[in-house]
Copies of this chain bind each other. A is one copy, B any other.
Amino acid sequence: MTDDATPAAAVRSRARAEMKHAILSAARERLARDGAQSLSLRAVARDVGMVSSAVYRYVPHRDALLTELIVESYDSLGAAAEASEGDVPRGDLAGRLRATGRATRAWALANPHEWALIYGSPIPGYAAPDLTISAASRIPSLLTRMLADAQRAGVALPDAPPRPGEAEALWQVVEFFPDGVPLETVARGLMVYTYLLGSVSAQVFGQRNNVVTEAGAAAFFDGELDRMAAFMGFGDLDG
């Protein structure tokens, strides 16, 4: 991408990259502090010590800035979850799910505005480009890998007679799984993912205020994860 044909060009393009990085950092900090609604190009320009119009040398428009932050957020969360999950022995499926869930929750509580940006209400007028869609897949990938590993290891995965319409509804998800994973397992896998996002959102967005005590929130979330692991056929907590 960068034109490094001459030393001077290399210097220029490095400076450009640094400037762009500074802009993104400032935007990231704004987002973390005030949320996506107050993220304006003018504010970012101010933070970085520029006149607002100068930012347009680096970012074509406000939405592009948002897109970059969305991708960064997905990646930051994905990396955190992968790191935690990777520390668990491959055979401990419930442990891998627990690590993924805990890392997701911890990241979300530490970065509530970023969480809201990627999993909260859609931003009016903003259409997420395809770029963001692939960045969103790191957590789902962890889950599908668990299920694939489980199947390879011969763990008995949830199975049941097919429900009407479900095969059609889920064909796009089914394609991500190796052959032979039961449809029931695919459906439950998507449910576990749905549950994970739902529970973490409930916690981050304050929907559990006056419901779950602050002191007990982490312990209850562990319980939720273990029950979801049982629901998924990892371990036998479900009795």
Which residue of B is nearest A176, CB measured? B211
A53 at the interface (CB under 8 A from B): no
In the complex, are the beta carbons of B124 and A212 less than 8 A apart? no
In the complex, are the beta carbons of B197 and A207 less than 8 A apart? yes
In the complex, are the beta carbons of A215 and B169 less than 8 A apart? yes
In the complex, are the beta carbons of A217 and B121 less than 8 A apart? no
The one of B120, B226, B227 that contacts A120, using a Cβ cutoff of 8 Å = B120
In the complex, are the beta carbons of B122 and A187 less than 8 A apart? no
The one of B165, B199, B215, B227 that contacts A216, using a Cβ cutoff of 8 Å = B165
A173 at the interface (CB under 8 A from B): yes
Q: Which residues of B contact A121 (CB under 8 A)?
A: 116, 120-121, 205
Per-residue 0/1 for A167-198: is the Cβ within 8 Å of any B Cβ (1 yes, 0 no)?
01111110000000000000110110011011
Which residue of B is nearest A130, CB measured? B210
A164, A198, A239: most-surrounded residue (chain B CB, <10 A): A198
A160 to chain B, nearest CB (A): 7
**Contacts A187-B220, A191-B227, A205-B122; is A211 near B166 (CB within 8 Å)?**
no
In the complex, are the beta carbons of A219 and B166 less than 8 A apart? yes
The one of B34, B166, B202, B211 that contacts A223, using a Cβ cutoff of 8 Å = B166
For window 192-237 of A, CB contacts with B under 8 Å fall at: 194-195, 197-199, 201-202, 205-207, 210-213, 215-217, 219-220, 222-224, 226-227, 231, 237
A232 to chain B, nearest CB (A): 11
Interface residues of A (CB under 8 A from B): 34-35, 37-38, 116, 119-122, 124, 133, 160, 163-166, 168-173, 187-188, 190-191, 194-195, 197-199, 201-202, 205-207, 210-213, 215-217, 219-220, 222-224, 226-227, 231, 237-239
A-B contact pairs, 30 of them (CB 8 A): A37-B37, A38-B124, A116-B121, A119-B207, A120-B205, A122-B206, A160-B237, A163-B219, A165-B216, A166-B216, A166-B220, A169-B215, A169-B216, A169-B219, A169-B220, A170-B216, A170-B220, A171-B213, A173-B211, A173-B212, A187-B220, A187-B227, A191-B227, A194-B202, A195-B195, A197-B207, A198-B199, A198-B201, A201-B201, A231-B231
